[in-house]
Amino acid sequence: MNDYAQIRVDPAYSKLRSIDTYQIHQKSKSWLQKSLKESSGFKNVVITHHVPSVKSIPELYRDHALSAAYASNLEDVILEHQPLYWIHGHIHTPARYTIGKTEIICNPHGYLNEKYNGYEEDLIIEI
């Protein structure tokens, strides 16, 4: 992945390594779980760039070796905390499905030079 050649991390401004992304992911996941626990009883909406389930990856690519670079398996977090919505990006194919009581939504516009991918310009969610 090009990320590992381009992204630098502190403190030595060194190249990003897979262990760095793993540690960042674990720290972010812990923060998210703590935040959802603290806001239990509220209508929670989670918005992330990264994909929370491989169910968002088009079926053709789900078993591809690089799928893990696009989607993390956070279904346990979703099922435990049941946010109302989980909205994500990172992929260029729309996805809409439920895990437990949580509606997962990806409505990407994609790059300007890409053909129409199913983007819903007038998509509205109700909270």
- Report which residue type is found at 31: W
For residues 53 and 105, give the distance between their C-alpha atoms in angstroms, rounded to a whole number.
11
Mean pLDDT score across all residues of the chain: 93
Check: CB of residue 7 under 8 Å from CB of residue 16. yes
110: left (phi over 0), alpha (psi -120 to 50) or beta: left
Write out the two tokens for 76.
């346990």
Name the CATH code of domain 3-106 (choices 1.10.10, 3.30.750, 3.30.70, 1.10.3470).
3.30.750
pLDDT range class, residue 122, cuts 50, 70, 90:
very high
Instruction: Flag whether pLDDT at 11 surpasses 80.
Output: no
Angle value at C-alpha 76, between 72 and 81, nearest 5 degrees: 115
For residues 115 and 127, give the distance between their C-alpha atoms in angstroms, rounded to a whole number.
31
What is the value of pTM for the model shown? 0.88
